[in-house]
Amino acid sequence: MKVHRRLTPIIPVAVALGCILAGAVLLTATPSAPTRQDAQYVGQEQCAACHEETVAKFRESIHGQKGFEMRSTHSCETCHGPGKAHVDAGGGKGSMVAPQALSKDKQTEMCQTCHDRGNKTDWAGSLHETRGLACQDCHSVHSPGAAKAQLKTGETELCFSCHKQKQAQFFRASHHPIREGKIECSDCHNPHAVQEAKRVDLAAITETCYQCHAEKRGPFLWEHIPVREDCMTCHEPHGSNHMKMLKVKEPFLCQRCHSDTRHPGTLYDQSQRNNDSNRLYGRSCTNCHSTLHGSNHPSGRTYLR
């Protein structure tokens, strides 16, 4: 009781002061915009007056559907900056943030304020980042050319547009069916995190191959060590002019590790083995060693079955 009574005279004073302050604010800003910064935002309905089609398309896009309700109320102005000056001037160039005019870093920043997680955490330092690509080089939020992920063009076409040498590999006699539309670059690569030391994580690469070639995973009773270690010891991942995307033809492929002077062939470093034949059997080792990726047959030690 005592405490309450002591406080009561103060409250009317505070309220009165508040009213005076609020009145002052009202003179300089609109009632719905409590700070000066916010006063510069006008909302997407205003933009629609002149950019009708852009706004309509944006509303239907994933950003219009969920992105911006979730994280921001500024819609268009989240990326293009506050639009009051632009609207007051009746539109025109130079008064809005025009993404194409920004540095690549700034362009990426526009997107990374929200997209900095999941498979995009390694964007910084990736080759695409260090070679000056921005998100907008591959994506277009307003006029995507592909149904998937707001890409500017279909993925294969997009990657080919810069990676001509890789494109050529996919035109070799034996190739992964990218051109045929059965798989895409992103089945094996994360374009948001391509690394220079592309082979640092061999296990991860082989794991990628297993995703579609599960039968190569084993476990096998008789494992062929190089297969377990790294598919790319023998295969080109994109394409090759040797059958089955091999790096080199048989028998040379096998003879990089197995002696070609005697057969059964020996590993160079196992010359002490007691072998009884000097003949090289034909040219294609896999005619006989048909299960070279590994065998589960009890007598498959030499991958003949």
Residues 80-99 that bind ligand HEC (CB under 6 A): 80, 83, 86-87, 90-94, 96, 98-99
Residues 47-76 binding ligand HEC (CB under 6 A) are 47, 49-51, 54-55, 58, 62-63, 66-68, 70-72, 75-76
Closest CB 37 distance from ligand HEC, rounded Å: 15
Whichever of 33 and 188 has its CB closer to ligand HEC, that residue is 188
Is 252 one of the binding residues for ligand HEC (CB under 6 A)? no
Rg over alpha carbons for the chain, rounded to the nearest Å, is 32
Count of residues in contact with ligand HEC, rule CB under 6 A: 144
Residue labelled with tokens 């005592």: 2
What's the CA gap between 272 and 264, in Å, rounded?
Answer: 13
**Listed residue (109, 96, 12) closest to 51, CA to CA:** 96
Which CB, 26 or 171, lies closer to ligand HEC? 171
Q: If binding is defined by CB under 6 A, does position 234 make contact with ligand HEC?
A: yes
**Do 36 and 29 contact (CB within 8 A), yes or no?**
yes
- Choose the binding region for ligand HEC from 7-15, 19-27, 28-36, 172-180 (rule: CB under 6 A): 172-180
Q: Does 300 bind ligand HEC (CB under 6 A)?
A: no
Q: Is residue 193 near ligand HEC by the rule CB under 6 A?
A: no
Tell me which residues in 1-40 interact with ligand HEC (CB under 6 A): none
- Best CA proximity match to 236, nearest among 223, 251, 252, 249: 249
Report if residue 246 touches ligand HEC, rule: CB under 6 A.
Answer: yes
Q: Applying CB under 6 A, does 211 fall inside the site for ligand HEC? A: yes
Tell me how far apart the alpha carbons of residues 146 and 111 are, in angstroms, rounded to a whole number: 19
Instruction: Report if residue 220 touches ligand HEC, rule: CB under 6 A.
Output: no
Q: Does 212 bind ligand HEC (CB under 6 A)?
A: yes
CB of 35 to ligand HEC, least distance (A): 18
The minimum distance between CB 28 and ligand HEC, in angstroms, equals 21
Residue 241 binds ligand HEC (CB under 6 A): no
Residue 29 or 224 having the CB closest to ligand HEC: 224
The smaller minimum CB distance to ligand HEC, of residues 17 and 249, is found at 249
Work out the end-to-end distance of the chain between its first and last CA atoms, rounded to an integer number of angstroms: 96
122 binds ligand HEC (CB under 6 A): no
With contacts defined by CB under 6 A, name the span among 7-15, 24-32, 126-134 that binds ligand HEC.
Answer: 126-134
The reply to whether 256 sits near ligand HEC by the rule CB under 6 A is yes
| Residue whose beta carbon is closest to ligand HEC | 91
Q: Count Cβ atoms below 10 Å from residue 265 Cβ, excluding itself.
A: 21
